[in-house]
Chain A
């Protein structure tokens, strides 16, 4: 039952997804920023790094839709390029979490109760016990600030999230009859995990991935706000806010727009996540 109609499922899934208002709105918001990010690769209204001190701290105008910052750079262009950085950092760190966390979780589930299981889960607890932001700050203190180290710092905390999720979901599947049948048929734990378990927990992973993606955007903003994310001149939303903070009485627009960009992107991702969860988990939909 689980493998037969995957393709059909997918097609209807897309249709169903867009019938969900949350998902559609979220998709629209997130999509807009992804488009802006991609567009910024080829075109921005101005060069996002071009400094023009004479035009500093201008409010929104026809020439600069979102105004200029303390160096006279165009804020709209910076937000577009910043979207690229934020989305890339969050996306890759979710990738790290899935790539490392899911196999660990599946392994732990396959060897439930063994030493391996115990070690993996205790290590997970340990990572959870660390104050995430502090450790991220420590990591960047060790390796130096930069987008790559921000990705690593955020990625590390995504690993236990996915490991736990994968283990928990896999554990319930291991008790199912068709898994038992596969074991009788002589399939090894690795094959069963890859062929039977993984496809069945995909939905959960996608929902969690969306949530972690949005948390990643927030974490990247926080890290670059304290100066540990992407380094100048590459714009990042968090650093734009940090710069804006000192000028908030003079140029509030410098604080408003990058903040709004973060809120809208995160909101979009959360809405998408909610929409997907409703579709995948009818039990939850009932309570909506």
Chain B
């Protein structure tokens, strides 16, 4: 057990101890607003973030988990040993864990869940997380040994994802509608189209939740969301859709406004494999034509951190490269002229449904028009976007937030929709995956960020904010969103 681990455990115990003091909390129920309703509640077979926003850390738990700041901490595995060659992980599981249906949790469930996720017929949306697993073996009911095909520096990080939670084989058939997990809350009911209700699980193995009842209410309309929070129908709205009304909440003592970051790197992606964007000068011209401040003000009501590369600003290794692609329409025009497009050109701009894309797209099209680039907007649905842009690479430009944390490797993938091909970058990524020393890793991460900024692969816009509003008396909500989740285990009402 490493030192970091010990420290974390101590911290967790301290946190649990201090939480015991407010013993007589008046209110033990909370209604949490969410914009999108989950299609079902099985996080191991579908990518919808809403599934995790209901279930992660509430109903389901994994071997490890993300904490509020994105650090990896123990969950069902209370500790682990890693073999010197980095190939074998021995997980020591927590004792006395029960599933919500009353059955006991054991190493067999871990083996079942991991094997299911990596099976040939697996429908896990993040199957890649399990790709390096060679075998999962049960040593005894509380010990699982996972053997990897090759060392993987991010294996514990992978196991913290919502897609890697541990399920019970007994309830697998009904997981989508009646999820059964090991978490502090159990599923109660789901009124489709309106809300999902969870209740405190009395047989929970860890520190019991402070709330007795959690209701997730689905309200996608911004004005309805505003009205619901104002009226107190919703106690907390962690991803509040009406950012324009936050000022009003800030000045109201009944509410607290919580502004943090998600992992969503919002970019204007360009098809590097297609004219005119196969020319780096054109891509640089696009980057200089874009005014990030105007986009953040106009499409995001001022919330959002500008980024100059594909990396989260809250990460300690982040390099601020926004200056390299500053707003400079004159330079942009000059670059277009150099590239052989003195009169600009016409391209398509495909926009998926989220407001950041639709609203941001309108502003970007207007900005590009000023340097002579005519961007023809076409709004597409997600299904079309995935098929045409992502899979078919049939696009010129698109706007999208990449929400997976630490996903620099996508720029090294062959056949990825950017069509970016750089041997230099691939070399950095190859070194990174085998590097274990923190200083070296940090250096490589910085190099990678610079490389894609230098190549102007995409126009990097801003980090998607997490703008939430909640009753002022609620304590313990996450500020940032390192992974899609509404962890309610530590939340309580102060009186």
Q: Which residues of B contact A146 (CB under 8 A)?
A: 378
A227 CB, nearest partner CB in chain B, Å: 6
Closest chain A residue to B363, Cβ basis? A51
Task: Work out how many contacts link A and B, with CB atoms closer than 8 A.
Answer: 64
Interface positions, chain A 16-49, Cβ under 8 Å from B, are 49
On whether A70 and B361 interact (CB within 8 A), knowing A227-B379, A233-B377, A249-B245, the answer reads: no
Q: Which residues of A contact B245 (CB under 8 A)?
A: 249-250
On whether A245 and B223 interact (CB within 8 A), knowing A53-B297, A70-B298, the answer reads: yes
By the criterion CB–CB under 8 Å, are B366 and A51 in contact? yes
By the criterion CB–CB under 8 Å, are B294 and A233 in contact? no
Interface positions, chain B 360-410, Cβ under 8 Å from A, are 361-363, 365-367, 369, 377-381, 384
By the criterion CB–CB under 8 Å, are A231 and B294 in contact? no
On whether A250 and B244 interact (CB within 8 A), knowing A53-B298, A233-B362, the answer reads: yes
Closest chain A residue to B225, Cβ basis? A246
By the criterion CB–CB under 8 Å, are A232 and B363 in contact? no
Q: Which residues of B contact A247 (CB under 8 A)?
A: 222-223, 244
Give bound CA distance, A49 to B245, whole Å. Answer: 25
By the criterion CB–CB under 8 Å, are A248 and B380 in contact? no
B492 close to A (CB within 8 Å)? no
- Number of B interface residues in the complex (CB < 8 A): 28
A232 CB, nearest partner CB in chain B, Å: 5
B242 close to A (CB within 8 Å)? yes
Q: Which residues of B contact A53 (CB under 8 A)?
A: 294, 297-298, 363
Q: Mark B14-30 against chain A: 1 for CB-CB distance below 8 A, else 0.
A: 00000000000000000
Q: Which residues of B contact A250 (CB under 8 A)?
A: 244-245
Give bound CA distance, A232 to B367, whole Å. Answer: 14
A47 CB, nearest partner CB in chain B, Å: 9
- Number of A interface residues in the complex (CB < 8 A): 22
A85 CB, nearest partner CB in chain B, Å: 14
Give bound CA distance, A164 to B473, whole Å. Answer: 65
Give bound CA distance, A238 to B227, whole Å. Answer: 24
By the criterion CB–CB under 8 Å, are A56 and B298 in contact? yes
Identify A232's interface contact among B227, B362, B369, B384, CB under 8 A: B362
By the criterion CB–CB under 8 Å, are A144 and B362 in contact? no
Q: Which residues of B contact A245 (CB under 8 A)?
A: 221-223
What are 17 A-to-B residue pairs whose CB atoms are below 8 Å? Answer: A49-B369, A51-B362, A53-B363, A70-B298, A71-B298, A71-B362, A141-B381, A145-B378, A146-B378, A231-B377, A231-B379, A232-B377, A233-B365, A245-B222, A247-B222, A249-B227, A250-B244
Having A232-B379, A249-B223, one finds 18 other A-B pairs with CB under 8 Å, namely A51-B298, A51-B363, A70-B244, A70-B298, A70-B359, A71-B298, A71-B363, A231-B377, A232-B361, A232-B362, A232-B377, A233-B377, A246-B221, A246-B222, A246-B223, A246-B242, A247-B244, A249-B226
